[in-house]
Structure 1
Amino acid sequence: MSDDPLFAIGPDQPGHDPESGQWGAAVELPVDGMPLEYEAFTLTHRPSYLCFAQEILGDPGVAGEVVHEVLVQLAIDWSEALRSPDIVVTAWGMLCHAIRAEVRRRDRDPQLLVRLARLRTTLDRMRAALPDTEATTAADRDPDADTDDPLMVLLATLSPRQFDVVILKAHGRSTHFIAWFLGTHPSTVDRNLARALARLDDGLRPLRLLHPGTPDHRRGERR
């Protein structure tokens, strides 16, 4: 996890004014001549961008304005953005920075920092509660062993990043929020989640057959 995910995206993004600290101010979307690729990009990413912005900012109206500004600036810089190594990553960086600038502008840093600190505490407590995988290897092989919770044993076998993603998902956080919180990209979150769920599913399948009451991890899969 990034030491300070609030600053994981630097300020050197298209449309950012380093003197005023504002982002994408007073720009209008060109109504004519936008390529189909831009329209497809907008249709694909705008819904998840809106959900993410609202999750951080807590206001649907403000979230809509921020996302609109990001997409406007992306339209203006479209030719330049296409020359970047990955336009999806470029747009993600623009969105993260725009949201961060809006948090600062509205003096919401303290509240947001408290929310993030609580999530870090939750992850730390969950990680501390994990069993010692070396000590529980024999119990893990024995479905009838009444020692550690089988799900906790399996969670202990995940990589740190996979564990963080699964726990944050189980707490109802969106893929985009998790990516921002961990200082990574949503596609990386999706990959880690898929690998973690596959590992958990493989481990829990025999337990579900022998013990039908075993909890189903897929309840934490919603996005």
Structure 2
Amino acid sequence: MTSKRGRKLGPIADRVGAAHRAWLEPLRTRFFDSRLTIGDLSTRTGYAKSKISELLRGTGLYPRWEITYSLLHVLGVPTWPMRRLWAAAASEAHKKPTWITGCIETVALSTGPAAPPMDHQGFVQLNRARYTRYAQTFLASSTQAEAVVDETFDILWLRWDEALRSADVQKFAWSVLRAGVMMRTPHIDGCPELVPAAFNTVILRKTAAAAMFDQIEESLSLFKALSRLPDHQLDVMVLKYLRGMDDSTVADVLGVPLVSVQTADRYAKQALRTIFESNDPPEGTAQ
């Protein structure tokens, strides 16, 4: 039996980092779905309502693993993937390794299996390389890209039942990956920065030194235009032309029909063509 619902839980604080938000959002979703109140959580965990509210809003100090774990236990959240997400966010919050290890060692995990479901493991095996290639297009280092992909799979483990209930698991998972990548990608005027990709193209690597600077300028213009495309069109162009996937593979990765990929490809090319034609100098004008 739950107690009478009190004041509505406030939003996540703006200052919460990307890694912290990655585990806090699914935890809040599980809390809302449970129909429990902050008072119920306080009663069942033994922690003050103010502390639990702070944790669920991301205010105050970064939460210790003990209180985080107590909420996971009450809400039935898998603890193994959450522990990895919690530790990554603690590092992002500049907590020392000894503090992180000390927190974890105070609690013996006892809820949930230590390995994800078999179908989740198969999903990871199918998508890890493809997800990593996408993330590497936007992020500064391979290490950061791999970390975001690992985070994505841990979040999916936490939300696997929800993913299976969705209209399409691939589409659900892609939204998780994309959110994690874009949260860490520098943006200019609201558009993701694609300049690093401009220096990692096949055409640039094959360009002779004498023509290198002209090719760099052309590549920068292209990637700037790409970054302004709608999300779906941008993803299709990145996966197909920067990562070399065929239409069927792109459709599978995004969890959309093949015709959706083909249509996005066509409209994106039209948009890019319009942008470059509008930037061409009038005939007879000195360049």
Find the structure with the greater CA-based Rg: 2
TM-score above 0.5:
no
For the aligned pair, the TM-score class normalised by the smaller chain equals 0.3 to 0.5
- TM-score, normalized by length of structure 2? 0.36
